[in-house]
Amino acid sequence: MSDTRVPRRRRFLVCEPRHFAVRYSINPWMHPDTPVDVDLAQEQWHGLISAYRAHGHDVDSVEPVPGLPDMVFAANSAVVVDGRVFGSLFHAPERRPESLHYETWFTSAGYPVHRPRSVCEGEGDLVWTGRYILAGTGFRTTRDAHREAQEVLGHPVIGLTLVDPYFYHLDTALFVLDDDNIAYYPQAFSPGSREVLARLYPDAVLATREDALAFGLNSVSDGRHVFIAPRAEALAARVAEHGYVPVPVDLSELHKAGGGIKCCTQEIR
């Protein structure tokens, strides 16, 4: 079946972890007393960029800013659909300055940016499926931001409630495989949200908690290739059974801040 899966060329926006550190704690993964190897983080990140380019994808970069250690997690900066940019307003004060630097990049690239009035953390919680936006809430992005995003982007927004603090962003509990299917960890969601997902995606690839804790759901798919954390072996096997081609990329050093492959990857549509 993998021969029938067709990749679609993507354009990604990223930011090198030149100033990566864990200086504060804003999610259960972050422990400021844990040493961080910046050189290793950069080496792993460059491996991700190389993997994207080797599979035919375009990659643009935002210049990292000293004092903003989480700027590497570009996905949180905005969500871009049909050339419309819905920006970010971070929940944590430590991250709020990042928004302006990403907004500057988008503006200079010719994209007008809408600044949200409510807390919204970009593609961390707003996931474009090709038909509508799946929108997470519970820990970061608010429901008011869901409504605002629908008005700005002009696509239906389906709210989903996250209930496990280890999966504080939607992109840690769910990713889009292609225009027709997703992979997700059901227990990261409220009962009603699980029912919604089951109705929308009856053939979804379901992940275990072990898969999710290995950052297996913080993955990026181009419709054929799935860039996935190496430790999520069971999930990679299930994805392969559905005809996709897993491409393991190790970002374990960045996991110390609660981020992985998707967190580092903003898609420009």
Residue 169: active-site member: yes
- Is 55 tagged catalytic? no
Query: SS3 sequence, the chain?
Result: CHHHCCCCCCEEEEECCCCCCCCCCCCCCCCCCCCCCHHHHHHHHHHHHHHHHHCCCEEEEECCCCCCCCCCCHHHHCEEECCEEECCECCCHHHHHHHHHHHHHHHHCCCCEECCCCCECHHHCEEECCCCEEEEECCCCCHHHHHHHHHHHCCCEEEEEECCHHHCCHHHCEEEEECCEEEECHHHECHHHHHHHHHHCCCCEECCHHHHHCCCCCCEECCCEEEECCCCHHHHHHHHHCCCEEEECCCCCHHHHCCCCCCCCEECC
**Within its chain, how far is the Cα of 49 from the centroid?**
15
Return the pLDDT at 118. Answer: 98
Active-site option among 15, 57, 146, 263 = 263
Q: By C-alpha distance, which of 189, 201, 114, 178 is closest to 152? A: 114
- Report the pLDDT value the prediction gives residue 3, as an integer from 0 to 100: 72
Q: Looking at residue 1, what is its pLDDT?
A: 62
pLDDT of residue 60: 98
Taken in order of first residue, the domains within the chain and their CATH numbers are 11-268 (3.75.10.10)
Q: What are the per-10-residue average pLDDT scores of the chain (269 residues)?
A: 87 98 98 97 98 98 98 98 98 98 98 98 98 98 98 98 98 98 99 98 98 98 98 98 98 98 98
What phi and psi, each to the nearest 5 degrees, are found at residue 220? -125, 130
**Residue 2: predicted pLDDT:** 63
Of the residues 169, 225, 255, 264, which is catalytic? 169
Which pLDDT does position 201 carry in this prediction?
Answer: 98
Is pTM beyond 0.95? Reply is: yes
Cα 202 to chain centroid, rounded: 22
